[in-house]
A and B are shown apart, each in its own frame.
Chain A
């Protein structure tokens, strides 16, 4: 019984530090300088959004924190320890739900839990049900993936990444392919879940308004090579409504900065 209680407790989120990270991809003769000397600290329980045009290396950085890719130079520390491989303390939610079609909803959420030796199957099922309920899909736990809408699939993916009780949640444009109504609902739900489960979240998006709505801090990247250009603190009260005017003001400020960087680069190119 204590296993289950331990499993479901709210654990301390973790601090991430990214120190002077560079990464170059080579494809044939073409070299892409995805990241150039990026340094960024994320506090315990902070919600940070990475924003920038495509090719600015924000997804690469997220994959590195996940331990799916590795920097050429620099280091990434999670809770003071170097990231050398993927781990359940840092769960990733991908743009496509990446759910497994051969499992039903519960099966998907339990996949990560099955790899935790300290739980028995009954406890795993209960933990899975807890998170399925948290994302509002209690009625669908035995559904097949192909029967769910895009928004519901992303909810399952969220439940699946929350289930192993990670200390960091890494989200790579998770709502990009959803319609506006579904997205707005998920903004609200994600903020609630974040408040309840206290995770450190790194959220990659190209949607400035989304970033301003969700983030404590918005980090603006510029491409070729990928660098951090500017950071914005969003000190609005939560839960935030994506349509509120004060939020729009922040979004406008960030968009302006994004545009001015783009113009700068265009001038350099000429």
Chain B
């Protein structure tokens, strides 16, 4: 409760500081009133965008792209990581490829995706998947490689073999690595999707990135700042909803440091 109070106090103070700083700078003619919006006008923009539903439509388009692409990336990345850790040939081929592609900033996939898929949802999904897939694969791979061999030996003496050992021992034992990998994958996917949405207009759906871009073209700074705030809030919510349960589990079982 006290922590919540601290957070609220901080953000209220921040908004007031923003308001009065702008007021002073605009009245002394040092800042252009057009370039720095007042918190109140940002709020008014968000309210009108919510009322005419453009905000929710854009939100839904973006979140759908993100969740779908991210889900596919994780579902492909974890088994791929298990395979590259288990089979030497896979590690020497797909593993090396993954390492290489992971160093590529995922926004670099956008031009290629546009040529392959056109200005469609497919291109957006492709960019998100590429952002997620390799960091999940790499962290699963290194997670499995860091499983103490004694776990496998102990499991074997209790009658565990083959696939059972993989699913019941190696996979849960690599969970701390996998969770940090899917978090990193999320960060990559989110950033690359925003870049892609700002960079190109996809006619099948206008996402948050489009609204941001649109705001710049109209010179509507209240829209630009408002959408930026929405993007921040989604990032925070995703962290709480998608990752907190896993991190709490890890903390409870492994006794790792609470974040």
Give A contacts to B, CB under 8 Å: 66-68, 86-88, 90-92, 94, 96, 98, 100-104, 111-112, 115-116, 144-147, 160-161, 164
Contacts and interface: CB of A to CB of B under 8 A. Distances in A.
A144 B158 contact: no
Contacts of A100: 151, 169, 172-173
B88 interface: no
- The residue among A88, A98, A145 with the most chain B CB atoms within 10 A of its own CB is A98
A68 B153 contact: yes
B5 interface: no
B29 interface: no
Nearest to A113: B158
Please name the 7 residue pairs, one residue from A and one from B, whose CB atoms are nearest each other, closest first.
A146-B255, A112-B158, A102-B172, A115-B159, A98-B154, A86-B156, A98-B150
B159 A112 contact: yes
Interface in B148-163: 148, 150-151, 153-160
B157 A115 contact: no
A147 B254 CA distance: 9
Contacts of A66: 157
8 contacts: A86-B157, A92-B157, A96-B150, A101-B253, A112-B159, A146-B255, A147-B255, A160-B158
B175 interface: yes
A92 B253 contact: no
Nearest to A145: B253
Given A94-B153, A100-B169, 6 more contacts: A87-B157, A91-B158, A94-B150, A102-B172, A160-B158, A161-B157
B155 A111 contact: yes
Contacts of A67: 157
B57 to A, nearest CB: 42
- The residue among A66, A67, A112, A161 with the most chain B CB atoms within 10 A of its own CB is A112
B47 interface: no
Nearest to A112: B158
Contacts of A102: 172-173, 175, 253-254
B53 interface: no
A164 to B, nearest CB: 6
Contacts of A112: 158-159
A36 to B, nearest CB: 25
B253 A144 contact: yes
Bin chain B's interface residue count: 20 to 34
A161 B153 CA distance: 13
Contacts of A94: 150, 153-154
B164 interface: yes
A164 B169 contact: no
B252 interface: yes
A244 to B, nearest CB: 34
A164 B151 contact: no
Nearest to B149: A98
Contact of A90 (B148, B155, B157, B164): B157
Contact of B159 (A88, A103, A144, A146): A88
B234 to A, nearest CB: 30
A220 B159 CA distance: 31
Contacts of B160: 111, 115
Contact of A68 (B151, B156, B172): B156
B244 to A, nearest CB: 18
A169 to B, nearest CB: 11
Contacts of B172: 100, 102-103
B158 A164 contact: yes
Given A115-B160, A115-B164, A101 B154 contact: no
Contacts of A101: 173, 253-254
Nearest to B249: A102
Contacts of B168: 111
Interface in B202-256: 252-255
Contacts of B159: 86-88, 112, 115-116, 164
Interface in B21-77: none
Contacts of B156: 68, 86
A93 to B, nearest CB: 9
Nearest to A160: B158
A183 B257 CA distance: 30
- The residue among B151, B153, B159 with the most chain A CB atoms within 10 A of its own CB is B159
A94 to B, nearest CB: 6
A86 B155 CA distance: 10
Contacts of B151: 98, 100
Contacts of B253: 101-104, 144-146
Contacts of A104: 253
A234 B159 CA distance: 34
Given A91-B158, A100-B151, A144 B252 contact: yes
A112 B169 CA distance: 12
Nearest to B158: A112
